[in-house]
Amino acid sequence: MRHIAKGATLFAALLALHIHVAFAQVTGFTPPDGFRAIPLGLAGSAIAFSPSGKLAVATDRFGGGAYVTVYDTWQNGRTVLYTVTAPSGANWQFIGALAWKDDDTLAIAENGDEDTLFEAKLSAGTVTKLVPSGTLQNVADVVYDVSSDAYYATLANNPGQGAVVRVRPNEATPVISALGTGYLGGIQMGIDGLLYVGDTNDPFFEGRSGVVWKISPSGLVIGSLSLAGAGGSGLSDLVFDSEGDLIATTQRVLSLLPRASEPAQPFGTFSGAFPFPTSLAFYGTGFEPYVGNGVLLVNGVFTEVGGIFALQPVPEPATLVAVGGLVGMLAAVVRRRKPTLLVALVALASVALSPAQAGGWADRVLGYEAGGAAAGFADPLKALGAVSTAHQPTAPDNSGIVSIGPRGYLILGFPLPFLNGPGYDLIAFGNAFYVGGNINRRYQEPGILEVGIDVNGNGIVDGADLFYRLLGNPNPTFSFAGVIDPGGRETTWGYVDVTPIDGSGNPFLPDDPFTPGITPGSAGGDAFDLDWAVDAQGNPVYVPLAHFVRITSAGNWSPEVDAVAVLYPVPEPATCLSLALMTGALLGVGRFRRKA
């Protein structure tokens, strides 16, 4: 029982660490309930997310030399992918806005010397002026509309003279003029097909609340939304989150229009004298309090914050309190040496965490390097979400896979941490298949799977995090003719992309990785157990909870990934009692057990 006490103490310490990190904030901003503010150490003017989560940040330079930096991610530990500068013959001073057309095409609005819109093709290293300089005087913001294959730009002319212009290569068409009462700012395209245009509504800076105009792409004013309910004044930028809520930067507060409707609500407050946040950018899914992995970037350079920071939902406080209290209960059980009660409670935990519960899917890419992957299969977003139901054991569905070359890697994140539960804990789905329908002969390209622990709780993969390999058969093989499994036992297990998929099966029912064929009712794929974890020296390590999955090649071949499912995401508060007791007990026992 002494080991269980040690486990309970460790678990309590880890819990305290995560509580501290979850509610750490930036100086100068108080987030709304259910969210945390994360300092990023970035400064600039305009910001924008690409469809895959690349972050573009503009840096102004008075007199010339402004530029745009494109990072692989918004998270700390990011790396620079591209630096975009003005093309020959152009001078950039002030970059008013950025907008992504696709993951390789970035629009850059310059309103210092050029007053026009540029388009950068990142992989080609080219920057093109879309319309002549001076065409877009006072360009303030820009958005790309896929339905019309055009950009829409706002012009912040004198009060009451704002305009919206549609821009295509060598074409600038006025949409509406003499719009608003103040200066125009942000522009977004709503799911209703309307343009949402921000107006300071405060031409003499008297503290009046901003207004959002709703305009058809043909230039008809449909209506307006007031931000008065939020208590801020003016308006600089606006953005939609994944739920269709509209968020705007206004003096002293962020203003929220739930589902783009009144009344507006404050969404966090700034301190300091006359604080005014500027640019916004949103990426991800789910942005309700305590729910989802969406992130809102806010440029607070003109506030006490002094730079760009991120807002994300935090875990439900009731969950943290429940787990903390239950760890204490476990410690009390241990001190009083009540093994019978402890065993009973652990049994309750096993029932609560049964595979019958719905699992979860990877929902974000935290790192990817193709490393020699086949052309046309290098989109890491293909690994997100549910596995394709079109897979057959002899004919995989290759339309939704990402390839990891012999020198590449893929790191995935999940909506919630996942636990070491009873039985298998996660399933990776690739595109292996049975050769000629023979379940003893498989085409496979084995990949190594590691699980990562977010030690500092910052939601990203950095040098502080720990990764442990889930070790399987130490000698995987690859053959275009198919791997032969003799003697009624699969010879390769504990690797990604070695077991075929049956799209008609249950993706949360693990296949038995030791027996040829797919377990009846299962969707197949490769099941893994956190109990298989080893450190860099090959020593067993107990992992009670993990946050990330990293996949690399196990040899000179290119494993594919369609999806990764976790079977025991951190549950709701109602099941925290059983979770805390089971985790504490397992931490104490700490036995390494290979399931066979």
In degrees to the nearest 10, what's the CA dihedral of 578, 581, 584, 589?
-100
Per-residue pLDDT of the chain (596 residues), as tens digits, is 334 443 443 444 444 444 434 444 689 999 998 899 999 999 999 999 999 999 999 999 999 999 999 999 998 889 999 999 999 999 999 999 999 999 999 999 999 999 999 999 999 999 999 999 999 999 999 999 999 999 999 999 999 999 999 999 999 999 999 999 999 999 999 988 999 999 999 999 899 999 999 999 999 999 999 999 999 999 999 999 988 999 999 999 999 999 999 999 999 999 988 899 999 999 988 888 877 789 999 999 999 999 999 999 886 544 444 444 444 444 444 444 444 444 444 434 443 444 434 468 999 999 999 988 888 899 999 999 999 999 999 999 999 999 999 999 999 999 889 988 889 999 999 999 999 889 988 899 999 999 999 887 778 888 888 999 999 887 677 766 678 887 677 888 999 999 999 999 999 999 999 999 999 999 999 999 999 999 888 889 989 889 999 999 998 889 999 999 999 887 544 444 444 444 444 444 444 444 44
457 SS3 class = coil
Amino acid at 464: A
Query: Distance (Å, rounded) from C-alpha 187 to C-alpha 319?
Result: 38
Query: Distance (Å, rounded) from C-alpha 527 to C-alpha 45?
Result: 46
For residue 211, count CB atoms less than 10 angstroms from its CB and return exposed for 0-12, middle for 13-18, buried for 19 or more: buried
Report CA 548 to chain centroid distance, whole Å. 12
Query: Distance (Å, rounded) from C-alpha 485 to C-alpha 442?
Result: 8
DSSP characters for 180-198?
-SS-EEEEEE-TTS-EEEE
Determine contact, residues 512/534, Cβ cutoff 8 Å: no
Which is it for the CA torsion 411, 413, 417, 423, positive or negative?
negative
Query: Distance (Å, rounded) from C-alpha 109 to C-alpha 309?
Result: 22
Amino acid at 397: D
Distances from the Cα of 21 to the Cα of 14, 24, 26, 305, 553, angstroms:
11, 5, 12, 18, 33
Please tell me the predicted confidence (pLDDT) of residue 460: 86
For residue 415, count CB atoms less than 10 angstroms from its CB and return exposed for 0-12, middle for 13-18, buried for 19 or more: buried
In degrees to the nearest 10, what's the CA dihedral of 119, 120, 126, 132?
20
Query: Distance (Å, rounded) from C-alpha 242 to C-alpha 240?
Result: 7
Determine contact, residues 251/210, Cβ cutoff 8 Å: no
C-alpha closest to that of 100 among 43, 156, 57: 57
Query: Distance (Å, rounded) from C-alpha 450 to C-alpha 469?
Result: 4
Residue with tokens 């066979």: 596
245 SS3 class = coil
Please tell me the predicted confidence (pLDDT) of residue 154: 98
Determine contact, residues 489/549, Cβ cutoff 8 Å: no
Taken as a whole, the chain contains a residue count of: 596
C-alpha closest to that of 148 among 179, 120, 127, 173: 173
Q: Which residue ranges form the domains of the chain, and what is each CATH number?
A: 1-23+315-353+571-596 (no CATH), 48-278 (2.120.10.30), 357-570 (no CATH)
